Amino acid sequence: MISTPSMSRDEKAVADLISDYIASESGLEVKRSGNNVWVIAPDFDPARPTLLLNSHCDTVKPVVTWTRDPFTPVEETVEGSSGRLETRLFGLGSNDAGAPLVSLLHTFLLLKDIPQSYNLIFLASCEEEVSGKNGIESVLPLLPKIDLAVVGEPTGMNAAIAEKGLVVLDGVAHGKSGHAARNEGVNAIYIALDAIQKLRYFSFENESPTLGPVKITVSVINAGTVHNVVPDQCSFVVDVRSTDAYTNQEIVERLQQLVAPVELSPRSTRLQPSGISEEHPLVKRVKTLGRQCFGSPTLSDQALLSCPSVKIGPGDSARSHTADEYICLEEIREAIQLYFTLLNGLNF
């Protein structure tokens, strides 16, 4: 996978590779839509709940500071932070999310022939890094109803039981142009500043126990053409990191009311926050195995799932999207063992 470039929206070659590998290793029918690849374990029964194992096959573009070829997988044995020797596999996407994908796939291969109380599906989705509409969102209508999902991302095999969503809002304040030398016009910048101040100091009443407060950040502002004309329009962009205390639509409506008559328009509300009860049987198993549960500030395909889900996988999020990205081989071995222990015999 590392030696097969698979930047977002250009994953065909790696999807071919994954599809062929699953077919050869499982003997099962592999299904595909675009660059999304999935396989369903034998003896599917609509009367049983369905568990989805999902990770993504796309990567970001390599940053310019790589000191090695990002598409040449290289193993090196080094001394880790604990003082123990560890074998690191370097390469683009090794950590995010090659290792979680490979670990979940081999967990599927181990579980597929063991009778369970649930149906099992493995999905390698595309376009995750850009939240593309041709990724998991396009596949879910083609799958049986999903009741629970395990999303593979580098979390050190600790479990994200909640994840922040994202809403990007475009704000526009309207004024009236005039000559700056005379007392003319209505300055749209000043109108926008009043709205921005309201956004800066506004707090939603409810806080998520795992994700904390909704975070509102004005990140871009643009107005004016020349120094001597009072601007009649000022635009700005608001980055909102939503939590499971509110839906994205509820957040948008509240902020629109807050800054009216300034206009706030969401680019999309599809990247929803997520959360799963700490009393869910899967979460209880996570805790029993001594793994931590936490709320994640970063997006994944969880944002496009409507069912309960847990984000968990080998690797370290801090290595993602960095030069000389790597995964430790032992992390993959441990992940497969832990996934298997979590899921074998699970009832939900």
Helices vs strands, H then E, count in the chain: 7, 18
| Percent above pLDDT 90 for the chain | 97
Which tens digits make up the pLDDT trace of 299-347? 999 999 999 999 999 999 999 999 999 999 999 999 999 999 999 999 9
Mean pLDDT confidence for 16-44: 98
What order do you get walking across the sheet with 85-90 strand by strand? 74-79, 85-90, 326-328
DSSP state of 323: T
Which tens digits make up the pLDDT trace of 239-269? 999 999 999 999 999 999 999 999 999 999 9
How far from 83 is each of 79, 86, 312, 332, 335, CA to CA, in Å?
A: 6, 9, 25, 19, 21
Per-residue pLDDT band for 3 (boundaries 50, 70, 90) equals very high
Are 138 and 296 in contact, with CB atoms under 8 Å apart?
no
Nearest in space to 273 (alpha carbons), one of 317, 305, 312, 314:
305
Per-residue pLDDT band for 80 (boundaries 50, 70, 90) equals confident
Mean pLDDT confidence for 201-229: 97
Question: What b/e sequence results for 64-82 when a residue is b if at least 16 CB atoms lie within 10 Å of its CB, and e otherwise?
Answer: eebeeebbebeeeeeeeee
Q: What gap in Å lies between CA 189 and CA 175, rounded to an integer?
A: 8
Please give the mean pLDDT across all residues of the chain: 97
Query: What string of DSSP letters covers 144-207?
Result: PPPSEEEE---STT-EEEEE-EEEEEEEEEE-B-EETTTT-SB-HHHHHHHHHHHHHH---S--
Kindly state the tokens that stand for 85: 């020797």
Question: What b/e sequence results for 258-292 when a residue is b if at least 16 CB atoms lie within 10 Å of its CB, and e otherwise?
Answer: ebeebebebeebebbbbbbeeeeebbebbeeeebe
Name residues whose C-beta falls within 8 Å of residue 301's C-beta, 6 or more positions apart in sequence.
Answer: 54, 56, 125, 128, 135, 136, 151
Are 270 and 301 in contact, with CB atoms under 8 Å apart?
no
